[in-house]
Structure 1
Amino acid sequence: MSKSKSSRSLAGIAGIVGAATLISKVFGLVRTQAIAAVFGVGVAADAFNYAYVIPGFLLVLLGGINGPFHSAIVSVLAKRPKSEAAPLVETVTTFVGGLLLLVTIALIFLAPGIIDLVAPGLDTTTHGTEVRAIAIRQMQIMAPMALLAGLIGIGFGTLNAANQYWLPSVSPLFSSITVIIGLGVLALQLGEKVTSPQYALLGGVVLAWGTLAGAILQWLVQVPAQWRSGMGTLRLRFNFNQPGVSEVMKIMGPATFSSGMTHINLYVILILASYIPQAAAALQYAGLLVQTPLGILSNVILVPLLPIFSRLADPADWDELKARIRQGLLLTGITMLPLGALTIALAVPIVRIVYERGAFDRNASQLVASLLVVYGIGMFVYLGRDVLVRVFYALGDGDTPFRVSAVSIFFNMIFAYLFFKILGAPGLVLSTVVVNLISMLLLFWLLDRKLHGLPWQEWFLPLAALTGSSFLAGIASWLTLWGIQQFWQGNGLLGQLLQLTLAGIVGLGIFAAIAMRMNLPEIDIFLSRIRQRFSR
């Protein structure tokens, strides 16, 4: 398969994926801003986060770029001739589609029980009872996203294997567009009454239908491109003994359970959050502010590297594979460590600028900012762990990430309960950060054994230096913001934006000045690509 592709550089692929993902993430942010402005941290927003937990989990897990379906398809097709692609993809789609259709039907009928399982604390308050009723209705509406998630994930993998990166990366924006349109129409029809409690159910229903419509469009735009690439149609095919199908399933099955177990950590968090009014909505708003840069950089780093990892799976190529793993980890450190530090230092102005309007008030900003600080601590660990997981997938090993995820569930249950008791809602986020760190360390140890040794010093010394420089950058940003606010409060949007910009520039400048002196090849390559793009 790889021989039939036109050669395309890692930088070129990363540029395409980065631009497309940036567009998609910007629309996702605008969508969440619209939800925050209309609903704040009220009943409809709280309900949606419980109702979305299963459909959204499936859409992210199965339908997301770098998800198990995408990774399995790319890993297998990258090693096979193009003539085998269409039958293989059609067979996998038939099998997966049949299973997920049953899941869709189950979600419709079992919605009340699922909501009670995910959020047992809702029945303890009047606010919670209203949230529960709306959440059940929303889950039933969004149930078909289970089927769509599988189709979208297979489509992503198929198009990437066909050397198409733009459409898979940009297509999630359709979900955002439909939600924004739906909320816009709702606001125009109801005016100021849109925030009234008596219209919470209507608002929740509009939000659910808009989300489902976006998933449908996201899948439909992939279909023609997949057909034109000769990578399969909507034909049903039941040849499950076909070469390659078992290989896809060998990776897809354990990888799905592995990623699914990671999301079980989210369920644990939501169960505890259901005992805190407004916590679910606040977790979603804070999470998005972290997931936006994470999603962009994850696609830029992981999407181009996964086919390369797969092509270096032979033991004879392991030296080069280790070099590519280092590249992925250091690129993750160069981007996520300073971003995490600045997120911690500037959490309050970030939240106020992004969300504080309409029904989203100052109290909501303080709540979300407290969660964002903790999320920022774990930004590097989250993406670094994913780099290692993709290496195992490329080596045809989906079992190891599965076992690590199973262990992480045990730790998450312990830490989530302990930190929740001590810190409340921020403790729930901290438990996730700690579990991700444990998982990453386990994956490092297991990868060291699998590849017969890793160059630990070559990897961890530069990562430690990047961590230290990011810490100094975060302190510089915080001191800059504090100093500005001593002379100028800047409570307006433009004033807050200027304060945030100045503080961010100082922090990034400090990081860049220190990082440049490390003489890391990855930094030189990164800067060279930036110069090339600006010189065009």
Structure 2
Amino acid sequence: MGYGVANDKKTSRSLAGIAGIVAVATLISKIFGLVREQAIAAAFGIGPVVNAYAFAYVVPGFLLILLGGINGPFHSALISVLAKRDKEEAAPLVETVTTLVSGFLLLVTIILIVWADVCIDLLAPGLTADVRAMAIQQLQIMAPLALLAGLIGIGFGTLNAADQYWLPGISPLFSSLAVIVGLGILFWVLGDQINAPQYIHLGSMVLAGGTLLGAILQWLAQLWAQWQAGMGTLRLRFDWRIPGVMDVMKVMAPATLSSGMLHINVYTDLFFASYIENAAAAMRYANFIVLTPLGIISNMILVPLMPVFSHLADPENWPELKQRIRQGLLLTALSMLPLTAMFIALAFPMVQVIYERGAFKAAASGEVAPVLMAYGVGMFFYLGRDVLVRVFYALGDGETPFRVSILNIFLNGLLDFFFYKPFSTPGLVFATIGVNMFSMLIFLWILNRRLRGLPLKEWGLALLQLAAISVVSGVGSWGVSWLWKTIIGDGNLLLQVLELGLAVTVSLGLFIILAMQLKLPEVKIFLDRIAQKLGRKKLLK
């Protein structure tokens, strides 16, 4: 057996260098993603086109994230197998896996096209006739994303195994760029008539078509690099006996099933959202704001802690494991609670600065801002649950989180049912928060018994102190924002940006100053971790 596809190259490339490439490429892609969302908001606001798109994109988008994403099952399975094999074995293996996966996903694509109406009716039975018609049409246009998702996921894994990280990291910007260009051309042709009744279906088709074109461009870019690296072509191979094929499938199949379970709650939320006007669009816009910092910070916390948890899994190391669990939860609080304070206190100016232009008017900001506030309330519970799940994985127990996730599906549906009428769209977010709180309590209760006791009162007191500080910082930032509006005003984008920047600075400053007074060791660790990301200090000495 060889040393792996990229072993000869990786000896000269440090992990830090790889991480830097991925970080820069991901940042560029996220910037283009933000511009894409701003273009969609400016073109269609919070109206029927975006609502239809939110439902039509659920299934193909889910497959694109699940199968085509970095660290997804396809990506992980191919890297784990290709890294152990010689380069000359890679092309036949990749071509065979691509043939097998493409055959199945092509069938899924055909099903989505033929039964698009059934899919939309099952997912969103409460849509109006016009929005339903647009959603069906958009789903039929975007159905090939199911096939492209698998091809893109295979491309990610293959290129990373060949020691290529820049193109896979930056390739998602093609999807954003296609939508931006498509909407730009549409606006150039139609101008202010883009949302006129006679053109609204055209805009709907351009949005869906741009999404599909972007995925095609992303795949073609990866395919070209794959050919150049000698890692396979478009050749069809049906010899499933090629060494490594079954190894890939053994990893890929269960990982796909397990990851897919996490998205059922999204379907449940959208089912109820279909009965609330503009709910899906409001959730889409607010969720995008929240996920950007959440994704970056979660990597800062979870990636370093996972191997630490694993090294402390033996009973003799449990006292230190308990300290690390506390560390994970308090670092989560230190990073999430300031964001909670800002998202609650500054939701409206945030939405204004990011989205309010073109067809996205002040009324739309008024609908998205409460949803953003609701998402902000749940940030600690979302990431805290993930920290505790990693503890179970480190203990070799994947069954407990899986069982809890099954229970959460039913709990989420129940809470959605009770919350969506009295609280409207934010109620669907509150339901998710309730599920995450329940998960944390269950996980802590089980770990308390399994690890022979946890200092839960001590942890709870520290968390309550940080929560109180976040309230103070939130009130401070809200006061600054109110004073700015009262004295200076916010009549243009520059004034809004300055208002938001000053309020965010005050909020973070208050939180950090007050948190340092608590003398918690996690505060120093958190500040060191930020410094490390800026390249100045080391973490967890």
- Normalising by structure 2, report the TM-score: 0.84
1:168 paired to 2:156:
no
SS in structure 2 at match of 1:121: coil
Can you list the C-alpha shifts for 1:50-79, whole angstroms capped at 9, x where unaligned?
A: 11111111112222234343344456667x
1:121 paired to 2:121:
no
Q: Matches of residues 134-533 of structure 1 in structure 2 within 5 Å?
A: 134-162=134-162, 164-227=164-227, 233-238=233-238, 240=240, 248-298=248-298, 332-386=332-386, 401-442=401-442, 466-516=466-516, 517-520=519-522, 522-530=525-533, 532=535
Equivalents in 1 of 2:22, 2:326: separation in Å?
21
Can you list the C-alpha shifts for 1:6-56, whole angstroms capped at 9, x where unaligned?
A: 386666555443332222122111111111111112221121111111111
**1:180 Cα offset (Å):** 0.5
Change (3 A) 1:475 1:101: same
**1:411 Cα offset (Å):** 0.7
SS in structure 2 at match of 1:197: coil
- Amino acid in the other structure paired with 2:28: I
Native 8 Å contact 1:18 1:297 kept in 2: no
| Count of matched residue positions in the alignment of Structure 1 and Structure 2 | 526
Change (3 A) 1:138 1:323: farther
Partner of 1:42: 47
Native 8 Å contact 1:75 1:310 kept in 2: no
Equivalents in 1 of 2:218, 2:425: separation in Å?
33
Can you list the C-alpha shifts for 1:322-359, whole angstroms capped at 9, x where unaligned?
A: 99888776665443332232112110100111111221
- If asked which structure has higher relative contact order (CA below 8 Å, sep 6+), I would say 1
Equivalents in 1 of 2:81, 2:454: separation in Å?
28
Change (3 A) 1:167 1:447: farther
**1:154 Cα offset (Å):** 3.1
- Amino acid in the other structure paired with 1:373: M
Native 8 Å contact 2:92 2:237 kept in 1: yes
Change (3 A) 1:226 1:327: farther
Structure possessing the higher radius of gyration over alpha carbons: 2
- Normalising by structure 1, report the TM-score: 0.84
**1:86 Cα offset (Å):** 5.5
Partner of 2:57: 52
Can you list the C-alpha shifts for 1:124-175, whole angstroms capped at 9, x where unaligned?
A: xxxx111111111110010010111122223334444555443333221111
- Amino acid in the other structure paired with 2:75: H
Query: Could you tell which deviates more after superposition, 92-101 or 499-508?
Result: 92-101
Native 8 Å contact 2:309 2:324 kept in 1: no
Partner of 1:125: none
Equivalents in 1 of 2:265, 2:142: separation in Å?
22
Equivalents in 2 of 1:468, 1:89: separation in Å?
54
**1:403 Cα offset (Å):** 3.3
Structure 2's unaligned 5+ residue stretches are none
Partner of 2:132: 132
Change (3 A) 1:188 1:473: same
Structure 1's unaligned 5+ residue stretches are 123-127
Equivalents in 2 of 1:317, 1:67: separation in Å?
34
**1:182 Cα offset (Å):** 0.2
- Amino acid in the other structure paired with 2:30: K
Equivalents in 1 of 2:504, 2:85: separation in Å?
48
Native 8 Å contact 1:121 1:275 kept in 2: yes
Native 8 Å contact 2:313 2:321 kept in 1: no
Between the aligned residues of both structures, percent identity stands at 59
Q: Matches of residues 1-12 of structure 1 in structure 2 within 5 Å?
A: 5-6=10-11
